[in-house]
Each structure stands twice: as C-alpha cells, then as structure tokens.
C-alpha cells in the first residue's frame, strides 16, 4: 500500500458517513475486528457488518484520526472518538489508539487501546 495515511483517513471518513459496505470492502474475508461495545471480537466481514448495524441503532459515533504511524504490516492510529446516544446526549469524548494489521491491501485485524480521556 503506497499511501497508508490517505487510505486510513478515507476509511475513517467513510465510516463516519456510514458508508459501511465501502469500509468493509477494504477488509480481508476473515478479518478479526475488536468489538468496542461488548468486548471481544467479531470475525469476518459479515460479523463486522452485523456489529456495526447493531451499534448504529444504539449510538452515533464519529472517529477522527489524529496520528497515523506504520511499521511494516502494522498501523497504529491515535483517534479522537466522540459518541452520542441517538437523542444527541454525549456519552464519550476520548482519545484512543486503534491498531490494524494489513495483509496486502486489506485489513486483517483491528484492535483498540485506550490512551486518554477528555471528560
């Protein structure tokens, strides 16, 4: 992948605009994806789509990359995450690390790590 920064900035923008099928198209078939709501992981593209479909019926989130670093097939992204309930009440305003593993031009793994809280 030539420009990882542009790839992930576009990925987050598409996520924030709920272009879920477009985001999922950049994942490997057997992607392992962190479940930020319930803990654990969901597996495969269908698992990610089901997870996000359920998530968006409960909360509205906006995730913006702040720093993107690549080391081989691993990408670490510091993100600013703002989450509201569906009535617009603020639930979270945090900075978190997202960790990705790439296989070729596809995301094969996604993990979450908390780094700070603004509340």
Q: In the chain, which residue ranges form alpha helices assigned H by DSSP?
A: 4-16, 20-24, 44-56
Task: Answer yes or no: are the C-beta atoms of 35 and 47 closer than 8 Å.
Answer: no
Answer yes or no: is pLDDT of 46 > 50.
yes
**Tokens at 99, concatenated:** 């960790």
Strand-pair partners of 22 = none
Strand-pair partners of 34 = 41
Q: Name the residue among 78, 86, 42 with its Cα closest to residue 60.
A: 86
- For residue 2, the model assigns a pLDDT of 61
Q: How far apart are CA 116 and CA 96, in angstroms?
A: 7
Answer yes or no: is pLDDT of 45 > 50.
yes
- For residue 104, the model assigns a pLDDT of 87
Long-range contact list for 95-98, CB < 8 A, 24+ apart?
95/66, 98/63
Tens digit of each residue's pLDDT (9 = 90 or more) over 1-39: 569 999 999 999 999 999 999 999 999 999 999 999 899
What is the widest separation between alpha-carbon atoms in the chain?
42
Task: Give the domain ranges of the chain.
Answer: 4-117
Answer yes or no: is pLDDT of 116 > 70.
no
Task: Answer yes or no: are the C-beta atoms of 36 and 51 closer than 8 Å.
Answer: no
Q: Tell me which of 3.10.450.50, 3.50.50.60, 3.30.1540.10, 3.40.50.970 is the CATH number of domain 4-117.
A: 3.10.450.50
């Amino acid at each position: 992948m030539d420009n990882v920064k542009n790839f992930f900035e576009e990925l987050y923008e598409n996520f924030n605009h709920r272009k879920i099928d477009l985001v999922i198209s950049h994942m490997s078939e057997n992607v392992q994806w962190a479940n930020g709501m319930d803990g654990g992981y969901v597996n495969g593209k269908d698992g990610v789509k089901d997870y996000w479909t359920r998530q968006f019926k409960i909360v509205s989130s906006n995730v913006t990359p702040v720093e993107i670093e690549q080391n081989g097939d691993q990408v670490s992204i510091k993100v600013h995450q703002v989450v509201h309930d569906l009535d617009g009440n603020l639930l979270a305003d945090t900075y978190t690390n997202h960790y990705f593993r790439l296989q070729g031009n596809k995301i094969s793994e996604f993990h979450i790590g908390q780094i700070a809280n603004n509340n």
